[in-house]
Chains A and B, each alone.
Chain A
Amino acid sequence: MKYYDKLIFELSRPGRKGYELPADKFNTDGLAAIPQNLLREEKAELPEVSELDVVRHYTNLSNKNFGVDTGFYPLGSCTMKYNPKINEELCVMPEFTSLHPLQNPDTAQGALELYYNLQHALASLAGLAEFTLNPYAGAHGELTGLMIMRSYHDARGDKKRKKVIVPNSAHGTNPASAMVAGLEVVEVKSKPNGSIDVEDLKPLLNDEIAGIMMTNPNTLGMFETEIIEIAKLVHDAGGLLYYDGANFNPLLGKVRPGDMGFDIMHINLHKTFSTPHGGGGPGSGPVGVAAHLTQFLPNPHVKKAENGKFYVDFGKESLGSISTFFGNFGVMMRAYAYILSLGKENIRNVGPMATLNANYIKESLKDDYLLPIPGVCKHEFVFDGLKDKSTGVTTLNVAKRLLDYGFHAPTIYFPLLFHESMMIEPTETESLETLDEFIEVMHKVAKEARETPEDVVNAPLTTPVRKLDETNAAKNPILNYKALKENA
């Protein structure tokens, strides 16, 4: 049913239904007590379908998707590792899912203990003093981290620091988060290998700088070898160091951001800690801080009393609240299960094996694809398109051709440092055989580009839909079923 193409609205028949509710025994008409002018004039035009209609419809939609369980998903900077199945079972235990976030903490001690234990585990893995789990995603963590940065300077009466340094190779969320946090972005240049140019950094440091946001390894997968010096320079200038945890996976088990001198970091639980990406979310972006910043963490904060009881704290010096309650609790349950599964022994191999996999692919493909930065990478690396530029085949073409061969495409056209960027991140959960299959297909596509380029340029040919008209979609936006019907 790859070619199933109905919308749920198109299955609707008046009078059909997919639910059953208990009979109304109240003998009370609640809606009658509400004045007519406060009620909706007409019923909402929602689908009228049977339960089986719904089950088949969404099962058929799922068949048109590609996930980690379908095949290799080397999407750079997204860490598409395997999502353990036991986690999906544990996170729907009714003793947790039925908890109201405002219920008496005495009756939610298990949930609070899990929350506290996860805060503690992340602190140990990151080399920082304390974590908040409230942020909902990586970008939300960045925003929270920058709010902590500003709170720290404000609390010291240092009100001039309204600028933050961001490398031009940073993820797009970094400058965007700075903007939302009310900070002005100062860009620091990268050297040809993508790492921060220390000589370019030095003149930027002054008493208006709140701090620097760094991704280490950076978005080219290269470790910032001058990190110790950078940390010293920034700290000496009165600034703080923020670590973008999107690229934490290669360091897990090997290096802790706190030990490198970072004061604040976020972790993407949906990257490094195996929670599913969910078609775009929900993720979770816990933020950790060094000891001198713990009082600024957002409210509410889960703490442990001396008598062993867990409680919910609202700190006075806190930056405020950035979430309605405690964040994406269901995601935290999965990450906690993942950490306990691996344990302190196996977690040491996560970063090293992710790094081994990336380097293996890089070395196996550098004859056919242009490797702009030679040398050992960490969990990911970037090719600047095909090595043979005479074919006219672009990175986009290669990406689409990979879909025909049953692989997800890498991240393409990011980072912006190269014209034909192709960012490949295999993660540690992939076997040598999978990597070899991918390598073989990448070689095959390179060969096709030389010999039968039209096969690559016209790709994809075998996917549920083919090349899409994205220009028209943006020019004449059709964003709901009603508009679609009107435009038919």
Chain B
Amino acid sequence: MSYKFIPHTEEDIKLMLEKIGVNSIDDLYGDIPREVIFTKEYDIPSSMSEIELRKHFQELADKNKSLTVFAGRGVYDHYCPSVVNHLLQRSEFYTAYTPYQPEISQGTLQYIFEYQSLISELNGMEATNASMYDGATATAEVAFMMVASARKKNRVLISDTISENVLRVVKTYCHFHGVDLTVIPEKDGVTDLDAIVKELESGDVAGVIVPTPNKYGIIEDFTGFADAIHAKKALFAINADPSALAVIKTPAEWGADVACGDGQTLGMPMNFGGPYLGYISCTKALLRKMPGRVVGATKDADGKRCFVLTLQAREQHIRREKATSNICSNQSLMALYATIYLALMGKEGMREVNVLSADGAHYLYNRLIESGKFQPVYNKPFLKEFVVKTDLDIDKINQRLLDKGIMGGISLGNGMVEFAVTEKRTKEEIDNLITLMLED
């Protein structure tokens, strides 16, 4: 009976059954209708030892191809210092659960407080929650937050320049929750303020969500947005890349009430799509409408500074169907990841990551345009990601690159292709990419 994760010996079982006062393990299931007891064999493999398990995983791993990545679309190949993974493997962090018992969870509570401080600082906002699942679900929850704050207004505007991976999720959430979502068409690759102003006229808009950098990598100019939106008593939210916020204008500087986005850019491995984290930050005024857990500072019985889960009256375990959201488990360990990453990179490092990425991206952009084979599309400012167009067969080129271990730009159709460059890409890699692309 005994297995390495199940320590019961035959003798243990006998002794325990006696204490319980039953004759067999089956007696513990005696209340279950016999016809639903599963007696057949499960369709899963036989038990594997660690040796066999490693072999199996290596076989699967060999069927993957690690690539030199020049693509983004919401996921970027940033570098993460070695220290982060080492600290994340402290099992005192990863084998704990939600810090319901603050006296023995100060480690978790304090890193969440630090995480909230760091994300608030990047966004210029006063409050940040302890994390959401991802950037897309965070954005959907912001739409709900807007409607819940507005009372009697049930419409949210979202710019079509937001990544389609995010928009898809926001649409699903709004459809089922019954929020009237209007997608504002783009104009020259950026959000069309005139279209927003027109929609705001009807007076039923609870809030407006816009992205920066947007799905084309363009840093949008939100001049006039906050005034126009606030004039109609609607809320203004910006979906942002938290890494980029170390250099680009912050949601707070644009006059936004809410900020949200995906934390993958904070050095998290691409990991085939997750885990990353979603974040929501907001002004103090909206704090009690924000979903998710929040940690606050307080004092203990001896007057010592400490941290605790707070404002829980918004949450599902207290309010049930009247809660601000159904979220319970979040992405806490990834919040620790982001915290340690930001602590290491710090004030100068976060700027340097952006400078290196932007310099590499602009170098690639300039070289592509100079080649005469690629043309600009929008002529708008960008940071690490941009779109160009070409008459070349981009699918053919990408297949050629793939054979050389490179993930090229992502084809957007109509000859448009989008590239992303991070601090990990060297000048040699970029030169090599260009040479391979222009081969024929």
CA separation between A80 and B101, bound complex, in Å? 15
A479 and B247 within 8 A (CB)? no
Which of A232-240, A349-357, A385-393, A442-450 participates in binding chain B? Answer: A349-357
Inter-chain CA distance A11–B246, complex, in Å, is: 20
Does A255 contact B321, Cβ atoms closer than 8 Å? no
Interface residues of B in 306-347 (CB under 8 A from A): 306, 308, 310-313, 315-323, 325-334, 336, 339-340, 342-347
Whether a CB of chain A sits under 8 angstroms from the CB of B160 is no
Say whether, besides A19-B346, A40-B249, A61 and B275 are in contact (CB < 8 Å): no
Query: Does A477 contact B294, Cβ atoms closer than 8 Å?
Result: yes
Q: How far is the CB of A443 from chain B (nearest CB, A)?
A: 14
Residues on the A chain within 8 Å of B67, using CB: 98, 100, 103, 107
Check if A98 sits within 8 Å of B66, measured CB to CB.
yes
CB distance from B379 to the nearest CB of A (A): 11
CA distance A64 to B108 in the complex (A): 8
> From residue 89 to 129 of chain B, which have CB atoms closer than 8 A to chain A?
89-108, 110-111, 113-114, 116-118, 120-122, 126-128
CB neighbours (8 Å) of B304 from chain A are: 5, 465-466
Q: Are A54 and B83 in contact (CB under 8 A)?
A: yes
Contacting pair A282 B334 (CB below 8 A)? yes
Check if A175 sits within 8 Å of B321, measured CB to CB: yes
Known: A66-B92, A254-B38, A349-B1. A100 touches B69 (CB 8 A): yes
Nearest-CB distance from B187 to chain A (Å)? 17
Given contacts A31-B354, A82-B5, A323-B169, 11 further A-B contacts (CB under 8 A): A29-B362, A31-B247, A70-B95, A101-B273, A110-B62, A124-B43, A279-B333, A281-B330, A281-B333, A343-B46, A356-B16
A30-B358, A58-B340, A69-B92 given; A260·B311 CB < 8 A: no
Q: Is the CB of B275 within 8 A of A38?
A: no
Whether B175 lies near A320 (C-beta < 8 A) is yes
Q: List 6 A-B contacts (CB under 8 A).
A: A28-B366, A33-B358, A96-B64, A279-B336, A322-B137, A431-B12
Which of B29-37, B197-205, B230-238, B432-440 forms contacts with chain A?
B29-37
A75 to B104, CA, bound (A): 14
Q: Which residues in A have their C-beta under 8 angstroms from that of B137? A: 136, 140, 322-323
Instruction: Please give, as numbers and ranges, the residues of chain A lying within 8 Å of B16 by CB-CB distance.
Output: 356-357, 359-360, 432
Whether A83 contacts B270 in the complex (CB less than 8 A), given A21-B352, A283-B329, A349-B3, comes out as no
10 shortest interchain CB distances as A-B pairs = A30-B358, A343-B47, A325-B273, A67-B95, A320-B172, A280-B332, A278-B333, A110-B63, A65-B107, A95-B61
B347 touches A47 (CB 8 A): yes
Could you tell me the distance between the alpha carbons of A63 and B108 in the complex, rounded to whole angstroms? 10
B27: nearest chain-A partner, CB-CB: A376
Q: Which residues 343-397 of A have a CB within 8 angstroms of B? A: 343-350, 352-353, 355-357, 359-360, 363-364, 375-376, 378
Determine if B416 is an interface residue (Cβ-Cβ < 8 Å): no
Give, as a whole number of angstroms, the nearest-CB distance from B257 to chain A: 16
Q: Is the CB of A109 within 8 A of B63?
A: yes
A480 → chain B, closest Cβ, in Å?
A: 4
Cα distance A59–B105 in the bound complex, in angstroms: 14
Query: In the assembled complex, which residues on chain B have CB atoms less than 8 Å from the CB atom of A34?
Result: 219, 248, 358, 381-383
- Find out whether the CB atom of B301 lies under 8 angstroms from the CB atom of A481: no
In the complex, what residue of chain A is closest to B334 when comparing beta carbons?
A282
Check: A121 CB closer than 8 A to any chain B CB.
Answer: yes
A258 to chain B, nearest CB (A): 10
Q: What is the CB-to-nearest-CB distance from B40 to chain A, in angstroms, rounded to a whole number? A: 10
B-contacting 9-mer, from A201-209, A287-295, A326-334: A326-334
Task: Given A51-B83, A136-B137, A482-B117, answer yes or no on A25-B427 (Cβ-Cβ < 8 Å).
Answer: yes
Please state if B102 and A465 are interface contacts (CB–CB under 8 Å): yes
B residues in contact with A16, CB < 8 Å: 346
Nearest Cβ in chain A — how far from B42, in angstroms? 5
Q: Which residues of B contact A329 (CB under 8 A)?
A: 271-275
Judged by a CB distance under 8 angstroms, whether A68 is at the interface is: yes
Question: Would you call A63 and B107 a contact (CB within 8 A)?
Answer: yes
Is A464 within 8 A of B121, CB to CB? no
Which of chain A's residues has its CB closest to B316's CB? Answer: A176
Which residue of chain B lies nearest to A103 when distances are taken between CB atoms in the complex? Answer: B407
Residues of A431-488 contacting chain B, CB below 8 A: 431-432, 460, 463-470, 472-474, 477-484
Q: B300 to chain A: which residues have CB within 8 Å?
A: 465-469
Interface string of A388-424 (1 = CB under 8 A from B): 0000000000011001000011010010000000000
Q: How far is the CB of B344 from chain A (nearest CB, A)?
A: 4
Bound form: Cα–Cα A140–B328 in Å = 9
- Indicate with 1 or 0, residue by residue over B130-148, a CB within 8 angstroms of chain A CB atoms: 1101111100000010000
A164, B42: Cα distance in complex, Å: 32
Q: Give the distance to chain A from B170, nearest Cβ to Cβ, in Å.
A: 9
| A78 interfacial by beta-carbon distance below 8 Å | yes
Q: Does B158 contact A (CB under 8 A)?
A: no
Contact between chains at A469 and B298 (CB < 8 Å): yes
Contact of A214 with B by CB under 8 A: no
The size of the chain A interface, using a CB distance under 8 A, is 202
Across the two chains, which residue of chain B brings its CB closest to A356? B16
Residue A190 interfacial (CB < 8 Å): no
Whether A178 touches B321, Cβ cut-off 8 Å, given contacts A24-B355, A90-B53, A255-B32, is yes
Would B332 and A432 count as touching, CB distance under 8 A? no
Partner of A352, one of B25, B131, B331: B25
Chain B residue with minimal CB distance to A178? Answer: B321
- B155 to nearest A CB, angstroms? 16
Contact with A along B63-99 (1 / 0, CB 8 A): 1111101010111010101010111011111111111
What 0/1 readout, one digit per residue, does chain A (34-53) give for beta carbons within 8 Å of chain B?
Answer: 11011111011111110100
Contacting pair B19 A364 (CB below 8 A):
yes
B41 within 8 A of A: yes
A96–B58 alpha-carbon span in the complex (Å) = 10
Partner of B47, one of A276, A324, A342: A342
Check if B297 sits within 8 Å of A282, measured CB to CB. no
A29 and B332 contact, Cβ closer than 8 Å, known pairs A279-B98, A282-B275: no
Which residues of A have CB within 8 Å of B64? 95-96, 99, 107-111
A127 touches B (CB below 8 Å): yes
B343 touches A54 (CB 8 A): yes
A356 adjacent to B121 (CB under 8 Å): no
Report Cα–Cα, A227/B30, bound state, in Å: 14
In the complex, whether A270 has a CB less than 8 A from a CB of chain B is yes
Q: How far is the CA of A38 from the CA of B100 in the complex (A)?
A: 42
Does A311 reach chain B (CB closer than 8 Å)? Answer: no
- Which residue from B32, B45, B223 sits with its C-beta under 8 Å from A344? B45
- The contact of B110 among A7, A47, A350, A473, by CB within 8 Å, is A7
- Tell me if A265 is interfacial: C-beta within 8 Å of chain B: no
Q: Assuming A182-B176, A342-B3, is B81 touching A19 (CB within 8 A)?
A: yes
Contacts of B53 in A (CB 8 A): 86, 90, 337, 340-341
Q: Is the CB of A172 within 8 A of B275?
A: no
Nearest CB of chain B from residue A254's CB, rounded to whole Å = 6
- Let me know if A188 is at the binding interface, CB within 8 A: no
Q: Is the CB of A137 within 8 A of B381?
A: no
Docked pose: A182 CA to B361 CA in angstroms: 44
Contacts A276-B95, A327-B273, A467-B301 given; does A344 touch B330 at CB 8 Å = no
Q: Is B177 an interface residue (CB 8 A)?
A: yes
**B56 at interface, CB cutoff 8 A:** yes
* B33: chain A residues within 8 A (beta carbon): 225, 227-228
Chain A CB within 8 A of B48 CB: yes
Residues of B within 8 A of A363 (CB): 19-21
- B228 is an interface residue with CB less than 8 A from chain A: no
Contact of B133 among A94, A140, A278, A378 (CB under 8 A): A140
Q: In the complex, which of the residues B171, B310, B333 has the most CB atoms of chain A within 10 Å of its own CB atom? A: B310
Question: Of the candidates B7, B118, B177, B342, which one forms a contact with A182 in the assembled complex, judged by CB atoms under 8 Å apart?
Answer: B177
Which residues does chain B contribute within 8 Å of A103, judged by CB atoms?
Answer: 65, 67, 69, 71, 407
A67 with B427: in contact, given A39-B249, A40-B253, A465-B103 (CB under 8 Å)?
no
Q: Bound complex: CA of A111 vs CA of B320, how far in Å? A: 37
Q: Is the CB of B223 within 8 A of A408?
A: no
| A14, closest chain B residue (CB) | B347
